Structure formats: structure tokens, C-alpha cells
Structure 1
């Protein structure tokens, strides 16, 4: 496993970014797309259809993305079978293993901002009203983060065994993300 200081073995062409909800996966994936001139696909945009339903073409679209030669995206939807589909094709995994207080505070700020501004996310969907945190707790993205925060730490031992071809960069603090982008990531651009 590589740290924020370790050089990358090569310029990657298929990149996954993983971490808990609110860690900054989409932001980092988009930055890497720009830095490395890789097409960025928002994986949530592939999944979420109108009314927060699963798009009927999700699996087909995800498999087509994975089959491509060059891409960067978030690694998600393991419960939908996309873990292996993406992991088998990726060359690099950037793991945002941020502490709960950082991920959760980012998520809360983002959720409040999106809810107040009624920002469109994917296919016409917007964050639900803030009151749903209390009235529909099972649907709260904030509660989801609290429930799943350690999921990647648990999953990572298997990831390293199942995908030995995958170079993994583990970034534990925002300052490590910034240092990695300016150092090893920039060096292969």
C-alpha cells in the first residue's frame, strides 16, 4: 500500500477513488481526471434515476465504463455487484481513509448546502428537506455515513488479496491528499 509520499509505479489510465460518504471521492476523482486527462464519470449519476430509483441501464453502463481503456470514477455500489466489475479493470485505487469527524462534517455541510439551494444532483434528483433526518432516518445520508464509516477499512484486506494488480494509495488526512496531488500524482501527469 502506498502513502502520500510514495511514487506511483506508472501513469494510470483506469482509476478508482474509494472512501466513505462525504470523504470527497467525487471531488478527487474529477481533479484526477483533469490532472491526468482521463474521462471522469460520476458513478452516482450512472446509478440514480428519476425519483432516486435505480436506472435500468445502470449495470450495462457500469460494465461499459469498466471495459473502457481510460477512465476515473468512484468505487461504489458493491451491493449491486460493481465491486468486482470495476476492481478487475482498474490499475490504481486511491483510498480516502479520512477520520469520521472530517468526513461527517464535510457531508453535513454538503447536504445542508444542497438541500437549502435545492441543487440538482442526478437526473433531476435533489437532496430531501433537512427535516427528513428526523422524520425518515433510514433514508438519511448522514446516518448512512455513521453506519458505514468503517466499511472500507474492513473491506480493504480483501481488496488487496482479490486485486493484487491494483496499486493502492491510502490518504488519511486532507493535507495528505494535497501533498499527494502536488507530489506523486503530479509527477506522472
Structure 2
């Protein structure tokens, strides 16, 4: 596993970005899309259909873009079967392993903004209004989901390294490290 100080030994063409909800996966994927010229496929847009229903063609769409030569996406929906599709094709994993208080603040801010301004998201969906957000219980509440999955990637990374030895994994522990790593020269 590489750190923020380690340059990449190759120029990746297929990149997964791992991290808990609110860590900045989509933001980083968009930046990499522009800087490295990779196509960013936002995996949430493939998963969520109208009225937040899962799209039946989700895994077929994931297979189609994973078969392409150049892409970057968020590593999500692992319980839906994306690991078996994305990990074998990816070359690089950027693991955003940021401090929990930081990602918690980010998620609270993003959630408030989206709900107050009724931001249109994937396939016309909008997050529930703020009052609804405060009354949602269980894992349907994004803040509860984040808390319950906060250690997911730390627990999974040893198995990922063992199961997919071809993957180069870069562990980035703070946004400052990510910024420094992005400035490193590339092959």
C-alpha cells in the first residue's frame, strides 16, 4: 500500500475511489477526470432510478463502463456486487481514509445544503426536506449510515489486497495529503 508521499509507478487508466460516505469520493473523481483525462462515471447515477428506486440495469451498466479502457468512479454498492466487476478491471484504488470528525462535518454540510436548497440529484431525485431528514430513523438516514459504516474500508482493505494483488492502493489520510499526492509527478 502506498502513502501520499509515494509516486505512482505507472499512469493508471482505471481508478476506483474508496472511502466512507462524505469523504469526497465524487469530488475527487471529477478532479481526476479533468486532470488525467479519464471518464468519470458517477455510480450513484447508475444505481438510483426515479423515486430513489434501484435501477434493474444497474449491474449491466457497471459491467459496460468497467469494460471500457479509461474510467474513474466511486467504489460503492459493494453489497450489490460491484466488487466482482470493478476490482478486477481497476488498476488503482485511492482510499480516502480521512478523520471521522472531518467526514462527519462534510456530510452534515452536504446533507443540509441539498435538503434546504432541494438540490436535484440523479434521475430527478431530491433528498427529503430537512424536517423529514430529522425524523428518518435507521440506515435510511445518511448520517446513521455513515456512522455504521465508518470502519468498513479499514476492515476490508486487507482482504482487498489479498484478493486483488494487481491493485495499487494509495491510502490518503487527510485532504492535505490528497492535495500533495495530486501534485506529485506522474509517469
* RMSD between aligned residues: 1.0
* Alpha-carbon contact 1:94-1:170 (below 8 Å) kept: yes
Q: Structure 1, residues 21-66: CA drift from partner, whole Å, max 9, x if none?
A: 0000000011011110001010101100011111121011001111
Q: Structure 1 residue 153 and structure 2 residue 175: aligned? A: no
Report the 3-state secondary structure (helix = DSSP H, G, I; strand = E; otherwise coil) of the residue aligned with 2:40: coil
- What residue is the counterpart of 2:20 in the other structure? 20
Runs of 4 or more off by more than 6 Å in structure 1?
A: none
Q: Structure 1 residue 62 and structure 2 residue 55: aligned? A: no
Count of paired positions: 186
Inter-partner Cα distance in structure 1 for 2:135 and 2:85: 36
TM-score normalized by structure 1?
A: 0.96
- What residue is the counterpart of 1:120 in the other structure? 120
Report the 3-state secondary structure (helix = DSSP H, G, I; strand = E; otherwise coil) of the residue aligned with 1:123: helix
* Alpha-carbon contact 1:16-1:92 (below 8 Å) kept: yes
- What residue is the counterpart of 1:169 in the other structure? 170
Pairwise CA distance, 1:158: 0.4
Inter-partner Cα distance in structure 2 for 1:108 and 1:127: 13
Inter-partner Cα distance in structure 1 for 2:120 and 2:7: 38
More displaced, 128-137 or 36-45? 128-137
* Alpha-carbon contact 1:115-1:127 (below 8 Å) kept: yes
Inter-partner Cα distance in structure 1 for 2:167 and 2:136: 39
Equivalent residues in 2 for 1:35-184, closer than 5 Å = 35-138=35-138, 139-183=140-184
Inter-partner Cα distance in structure 1 for 2:84 and 2:51: 27
Inter-partner Cα distance in structure 2 for 1:143 and 1:43: 21
* Alpha-carbon contact 1:43-1:74 (below 8 Å) kept: yes
Inter-partner Cα distance in structure 1 for 2:132 and 2:173: 31
Query: Gaps (5+ residues) in structure 1?
Result: none
TM-score normalized by structure 2?
A: 0.97
* Alpha-carbon contact 1:132-1:140 (below 8 Å) kept: no
- What residue is the counterpart of 2:29 in the other structure? 29
Q: Structure 1 residue 188 and structure 2 residue 179: aligned? A: no
Inter-partner Cα distance in structure 2 for 1:161 and 1:9: 20
Q: Structure 1, residues 134-158: CA drift from partner, whole Å, max 9, x if none?
A: 3221211111001100000000010
